[in-house]
């Protein structure tokens, strides 16, 4: 079964782009949340992660800060 994946990102962040490319390459569906355009979602991200930096991935409630490929693979079971 597919896991719920949210990516809190900005359009200009290179690690955000790499994280989204990685998910796409592995056929993982995700919700992209542009925190530079949505202040409420930015606040939600900070509350979840304690971080202001992007990307922040929320995989079934597991928060991964940055493009940590190994942790992402582990969380997704790939």
pLDDT of residue 9 exceeding 80, the answer is yes
pLDDT of residue 2: 78
* Residue bearing the bigger pLDDT, 66 or 1: 66
- Is residue 23 a contact partner of residue 30, using CB atoms and an 8 Å limit? yes
Distance CA 39, CA 44 (A): 9
Q: Each residue of 26-68: pLDDT tens digit?
A: 999 999 999 999 999 999 999 999 999 999 999 999 999 999 9
- Please check the confidence at residue 1 and state whether its pLDDT lies above 80: no
Query: What pLDDT shows up at residue 54?
Result: 97
- Most distant CA atoms of the chain, gap in Å: 32
pTM above 0.85, yes or no: yes
Nearest to 55 by CA among 25, 24, 26, 12: 12
């Amino acid at each position: 079964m597919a896991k719920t994946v949210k990516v809190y990102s900005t359009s200009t962040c290179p690690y955000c782009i790499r994280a989204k490319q990685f998910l796409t390459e592995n056929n993982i569906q995700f919700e992209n949340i542009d925190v530079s355009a949505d202040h409420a979602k930015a606040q939600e991200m900070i509350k979840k992660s304690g971080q202001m930096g992007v990307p922040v991935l929320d995989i079934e409630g597991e928060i991964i800060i940055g493009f940590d490929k190994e942790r992402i693979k582990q969380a997704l079971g790939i």
